[in-house]
Structures are given as C-alpha cells and as structure tokens.
Amino acid sequence: MSKLSIVVPVYYNADTLELLYEDMLKKVLGKLEEYEIVFVDDGSGDDSWEVMNRLREKDEHIKCVKLSRNFGEHAALLAGLSASSGDCAVTKQADLQEDSALILEMYESWKRGNKVVLVGSVIQDQLTQAHNWPFAAALSVVLMLLTSLLIWFYRRVAHVKELEGLL
C-alpha cells in the first residue's frame, strides 16, 4: 500500500478551498487507501489560513504549512513537498482550474512504474500520436533541463541543499 501526498499551494484562495476539498473528497479521496493533503499558505492576506485549519479539523489527513510571507508558487511547492510524507506526490492548484479526477489517473500511472507523470491536454494529444515520438523525446530533454535549472536555482539562489530526494 502506498501513500499519496497532494500538495496545494495557497495564495488568496479562501473562497475556493472548501469547494476544492469537497471536489477532491467526491472524486479522489474516497478512492485512495492512504493519502495526505498538504496545504501551503504562501503569505495570503485573506482568510486562507483559517479555512485551511477548519478543513484540517474535519480531516486528520490534512497538514497545513504557513510561509512567513509570499515567496511564490515554486517555493510554496517545495515547502509542501518537504513537508509531505507520501510515497508519491502530486500538485494541485487551489483555484479549481484543474479536474481533481486527474489526480487518480496520475497516481495510477505512477503505480504502473512511471517516475514522472505530466498531464496537459496539448502535450497528451501530441504524445499519443505514434508519429510524434521525436516530439516526445525532445520534450523529455527540455523537461530534464528545466528540472536541472530549477535545482541549480534553489541551491545557488535560495541556498537549499537537500533536493536529491525529490528526483
């Protein structure tokens, strides 16, 4: 049995957090054996922190992390990944723009042995066409370079040294 961590960066999302949780509860959480949701407040000036804590009181699988100020979405994601304890982690936007059902598809793909799972309608359509294998190969190289650049940035600029476990 594996545990799924769902990391949600939060920035001025007090009005959507309860809707997000109810959507995930209906579409995802009831179908998982073990999970955690890690909400990361990235310096919101609204009631996001209070809403996150109300949700944590309802569900013992919720963790709340509060950053001292707004550091940006990437830093909030890194903080959430650092606080997560799952075998697999996915990220979810708090603004209800993504379908929560995609979380299950990504998790199932990971359980089949895929180390990195990306979802995007344009990318997915391109990759499913057999004659586009050069595109898929080029995309893999670009994503690897971007990941390396992000790790370099966090090590040099943000002085974060413990990223090896994220790859």
Residues 107 and 147 in one domain: no
Average confidence (pLDDT) over 63-78: 94
- Over 80: is that where the pLDDT of 27 sits? yes
- In angstroms, the CA 49 to CA 39 distance is 9
Count of Cβ atoms closer than 10 Å to residue 128 Cβ: 9
Is-above-0.75 flag for pTM?
A: no
Could you tell me the CATH number of the domain that includes residue 102?
3.90.550.10
Residues 31 and 94 in one domain: yes
Average confidence (pLDDT) over 57-85: 94
Residues 98 and 127 in one domain: no
Residues 3 and 33 in one domain: yes
Residues 149 and 165 in one domain: yes
The more confidently predicted of residues 122 and 66 is 66
Q: Are 19 and 13 in contact (CB under 8 A)?
A: no
Q: Residue 124's domain spans which residues?
A: 120-167
Residues 81 and 41 in one domain: yes
At a CB cut-off of 8 Å and minimum separation 6, what does 26 contact?
A: 100
Residues 108 and 126 in one domain: no
Residues 135 and 57 in one domain: no
Residues 41 and 67 in one domain: yes
- In angstroms, the CA 95 to CA 12 distance is 9
Count of domains observed in the chain: 2
Q: Look-up: residue for tokens 């545990």?
A: 3
Please, what is the average pLDDT of the chain? 83
- The residue among 65, 64, 6, 58 whose CA lies nearest residue 34 is 6
